[in-house]
């Protein structure tokens, strides 16, 4: 198939495009930089140097690619997770406005299917692992709720009835090369500097996915039934389990422990939410429909 990937320079872009090319698809990756375009050409894709906010240029690039499937992996994330608060407005704008340009262009160009990056970790609170019928945590702490609202809007856009088949891929936290959760990633450096303590009981469940497993699931979603899929590992561990193990695996000292109130005063309500209230996701549907076989979280 002819496939257009937006966000091709992000963490998932390279493994995704590599797998698409390996499967024999004709791939065009969208990048804003010459360096990003050069990397795309090196792995066998065509490169479209386009700014997602330029609606006319996005549509022109899509027409030129003759895309049958469009994959929206648009993000604007910092290398260091500590910088996320300052990046969040730009990231939200890119996903909503830039992604809106991409979605409208895909409709105008007659694309058959649209795959949308969504979230498998900002799930509505409840008992047990959440399946795909569960909504997102719109009533969470402020920044988590804002992110949940963004993803809810993206899911509504891609899943609306119409000319295109829509698939929302609710990825877990990415780990592996070029992510925050890797020995040379931002979270590892936080731990080495002893700037990422364990909050309270650390009972929040984190749903993870290796970046290469996420790419494989995305390729499998080219032909699946439209809808929502949780692309996460089998057994989401609580923060109290994975954080000390991750610290040990990257050569960092054990994380300090602070109370929820101490964390609330020093880091804010969102930090407490991440560590104590996140709900895990069930991947049963992805395993059954996509043949998804995620690896076990490496540092466990």
**Geometric angle at alpha carbon 164, from 158 and 170, rounded to 5°:** 35
Q: Which two tokens stand for residue 96?
A: 């909503």
Domain total of the chain? 1
CATH number of the domain enclosing 223: 3.40.50.720
CB atoms within 10 A of CB 170: 28
Domain that includes residue 82, residue range: 2-178+208-232+281-290
Model pLDDT, residue 193: 96
**Geometric angle at alpha carbon 204, from 80 and 213, rounded to 5°:** 60
Distance between CA atoms of 150 and 152, rounded to whole angstroms? 5
Tell me the average confidence (pLDDT) per consecutive run of 10 residues in the chain, 300 residues long. Answer: 95 95 97 91 96 98 97 95 94 98 98 98 96 97 97 97 95 97 97 97 98 98 97 97 98 98 97 98 98 96
Does residue 49 fall inside a structural domain? yes
Q: Which two tokens stand for residue 73?
A: 């992996």
Does residue 260 fall inside a structural domain? no
Give the DSSP letter of residue 83. G
Does residue 38 fall inside a structural domain? yes
Mind listing the pLDDT tens digit for each residue in 212-246? 999 999 999 999 999 999 999 999 999 999 999 99
The pTM of the full predicted model, rounded to 2 decimals, is 0.97
Does residue 126 fall inside a structural domain? yes
Distance between CA atoms of 284 and 131, rounded to whole angstroms? 8
Model pLDDT, residue 162: 87
Please say whether the beta carbons of 286 and 230 come within 8 A.
yes
Alpha-helical runs (H) found in the chain: 13-22, 34-42, 55-65, 84-93, 99-108, 142-159, 186-192, 211-220, 239-249, 260-266, 269-276, 284-290
Does residue 12 fall inside a structural domain? yes
Mind listing the pLDDT tens digit for each residue in 59-109? 999 999 999 999 999 999 999 999 999 999 999 999 999 999 999 999 999
Does residue 141 fall inside a structural domain? yes
Alpha carbon dihedral 99, 100, 101, 102, in 10-degree steps, equals: 50
Does residue 246 fall inside a structural domain? no
Distance between CA atoms of 55 and 46, rounded to whole angstroms? 20
């Amino acid at each position: 198939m002819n496939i257009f990937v937006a966000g091709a320079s992000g963490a998932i872009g390279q493994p995704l495009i590599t797998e698409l090319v390996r499967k024999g698809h004709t791939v065009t990756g969208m990048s804003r930089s010459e360096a990003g375009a050069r990397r795309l050409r090196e792995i066998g894709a065509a490169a479209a140097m386009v700014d997602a906010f330029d609606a006319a240029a996005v549509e022109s690039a899509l027409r030129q690619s003759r895309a049958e499937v469009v994959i929206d992996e648009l993000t604007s994330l910092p290398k260091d997770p500590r910088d996320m608060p300052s990046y969040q407005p730009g990231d939200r704008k890119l996903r909503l406005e830039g992604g809106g340009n991409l979605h409208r262009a895909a409709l105008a160009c007659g694309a058959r299917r649209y795959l949308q990056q969504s979230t498998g970790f900002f799930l509505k609170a409840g008992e047990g692992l959440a399946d795909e019928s569960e909504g997102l945590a719109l009533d969470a702490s402020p920044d988590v709720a804002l992110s949940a609202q963004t993803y809810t809007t993206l899911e509504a856009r891609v899943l609306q009835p119409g000319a295109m088949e829509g698939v929302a891929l609710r990825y877990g936290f990415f780990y592996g090369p070029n992510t925050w959760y890797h020995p040379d990633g931002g979270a590892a450096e936080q731990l080495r500097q002893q700037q990422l303590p364990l909050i309270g009981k650390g009972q929040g469940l984190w749903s993870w996915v290796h970046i290469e497993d996420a790419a494989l699931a995305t390729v499998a979603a080219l032909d699946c039934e439209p809808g929502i899929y949780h692309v996460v590992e089998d057994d989401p561990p609580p923060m109290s389990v994975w954080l000390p193990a991750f610290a040990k695996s990257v050569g960092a000292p054990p994380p300090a422990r602070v109370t929820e109130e101490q964390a609330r005063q020093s880091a804010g309500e969102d930090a407490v939410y991440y560590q104590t209230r996140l709900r895990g996701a069930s991947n049963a549907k992805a395993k059954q429909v996509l043949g998804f076989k995620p690896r076990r979280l490496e540092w466990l």
